[in-house]
Chain A
Amino acid sequence: MSLASVMAPVPVPTPSPGRVAPPVPRADPSPALREEPRVAKMVVEDLSAWYGRRKVLHGVSLPFVKDAVTAIIGPSGCGKSTLIRCLNRMHEIQPGAAQSGRVLLDGRDIHGGHLDPIELRRRVGMVFQKPNPFPTMSVRDNVLAGWRLTGTRPKDPDAVVEDALRRAALWVEVKDRLKAPGGSLSGGQAQRLCIARALAVAPEVLLMDEPCSALDPIATARIEELIHELAPTVTIVIVTHNMQQAARVSAYTAFLYMGELVEFAETAGLFTRPADPRTEDYITGRFG
């Protein structure tokens, strides 16, 4: 990864006439959902993305509902990860990466001048596929990494650490070894530490890029539980190739295929009555 391109502006051509308007979630929501006003925390409009000459996203438009979990499913290489990496501008730091279309956070373009990528990434946190705690930092410093790396300090670091670890359901396990190195935790603990690290800077959106694919079933179940607990307060976008997981954790699901958004709907509806035959083929295991 070249860091020289981190700050480089991204060319944002005027959007071509939108392929589709963001699909509206279908009727018949579950009772719990009916109560909440559906506000889009982030919106992707006609988003295309390239690696060099290879186009990996083709005009995707999609809302991410505030304080709900949206799952992005699809076969490997369908552009899922690229899509969420566009949401915190991590896509553009890769050499040869380009994109077009718009990404809105609270209705404002994240490439607009009001928000630099640094600030954006503090508001839109990310958890990666492979747990990547900082091995040379202690557990405590890992949680505070978002502060420490940027040379800032919360008012009450201990409170931040405890709160973030509690929200990441890790506090009980590590409270007696906060000084232990971050590399000493098991895979599942390390991933929850990464979640705590992301939560410590109080993000409004949490992007999770296949957060359980490197974990065993028990650790996976814990992370899923955790996603449930976090959902009321944080907008979560989770990429997964595990359809059962999408069905378990998300309120909305988007099905991506070959870089195109095939279908976006409430999770219950998408899995029981898929509108597109390709979705049906995928969720019934006929391909992917």
Chain B
Amino acid sequence: MGRRSSSSPSDAAFHATLVLAGLGVATVLAGVAWEVLDLAGPAMQKGGLSFLTGTTWDPVAGEFGALPALYGTLLTSAIALLVAVPLGIGSAVFLSEIASSRVAAVAGVLVDLLAAIPSVIYGLWGLFVLAPLLRQHVQPAVQSVLGDVPLFAGPPLGVGYGTAGLLLAIMVIPVVTSVSREVLKAVPDTQREAACALGATPFEVIRGTVFPYARSGLVGAVVLGLGRALGETMAVTMVIGNRYEISASLFAPGYTLAAVIANEFAEAFSPEYLSALGGLAVVLLGSTLVLNAAARLLVRGVRHGGG
């Protein structure tokens, strides 16, 4: 839309308000980024790239490396997406394409309620239900079969990367489902009819027509889910074990960027320590932005216009 001359003072005021609102969002984002970078400056200058690649986190010795926390964040988020994307998109397809409108309405409300549960409640549930369940039943069973695989090695503690990933998955599913459902609903019925009239079965209609049409929106749903997984703090802190290590085993305890910041911010005793936590925040912010951008590029890359 081109710029049009405002025809009346109220139009001008409206226009100005919208511009201010738009600038406000950008200002907040820039302000947050600036503050975090400012805080992290000393630590990042001192450590340089080794801040990113270092594996030791020793505030007393003044040694700060972000890698174990970054690893924990990426690993738990990957597990979460691996579980949540098929389930979330699958249930969205059920709600928008298969379920009767009454079932879809009821289930849709339930899904939205799931998304609204505070994360500390998920954390409590994870700590008191999911973790014992995994410790007593799932982890021993897995280890009795695959005990020699490093991915499942170590004592069954109940807390760790795997538990955090699964809990995150449960938290991410409603986000992915809710957004995907809206995206799928936005696919015009004329597209489904076109495929149906060509002799496609319901499955073929969904796979061949609905998914391609909704592709960019579905990636958007996954990106939103990823954002929640990357940034989730409270629930993860409660079930990941909070040990600053890199471990190949899903059963091993670990740490995430957000969990370290939340746990240690109050007790950061030196400016250097505080700055290192700021550095973790920069890494978290950066990885969120990078993954977001990557997902967007991915969509643009696979899109042939339309959709």
Contacts and interface: CB of A to CB of B under 8 A. Distances in A.
Interface of A: 1-4, 6-7, 88, 90, 93, 95, 118-122, 125-126, 128, 130, 132-138, 145-146, 148-151, 181-184, 194, 197-198, 201
A149 B307 contact: no
Contact of A132 (B194, B212, B303, B307): B194
B38 interface: no
A130 B190 CA distance: 8
Nearest to A148: B208
28 contacts: A1-B193, A2-B101, A3-B192, A3-B196, A4-B202, A6-B202, A90-B196, A90-B197, A95-B101, A121-B196, A121-B199, A128-B193, A130-B190, A132-B191, A132-B193, A133-B194, A134-B209, A135-B213, A135-B306, A135-B307, A136-B306, A149-B198, A149-B200, A181-B306, A183-B305, A197-B194, A198-B197, A201-B199
A3 B209 CA distance: 13
Given A149-B205, A181-B305, A3 B98 contact: yes
Minimum-distance CB pairs A-B, first 5: A135-B306, A183-B306, A3-B202, A126-B197, A181-B305
A145 B188 contact: no
Nearest to A129: B190
A148 to B, nearest CB: 7
Contacts of A184: 305
B201 interface: yes
A93 B99 CA distance: 13
A97 to B, nearest CB: 13
Given A120-B199, A134-B209, 20 more contacts: A2-B101, A3-B97, A3-B196, A88-B197, A90-B197, A121-B196, A121-B197, A121-B199, A122-B199, A128-B194, A132-B190, A133-B194, A134-B191, A136-B213, A149-B205, A150-B199, A150-B204, A181-B306, A194-B194, A197-B194
B198 A201 contact: yes
B194 to A, nearest CB: 4
B194 A93 contact: no
A128 B213 CA distance: 18
Contact of B189 (A1, A4, A7, A151): A1
A192 to B, nearest CB: 14
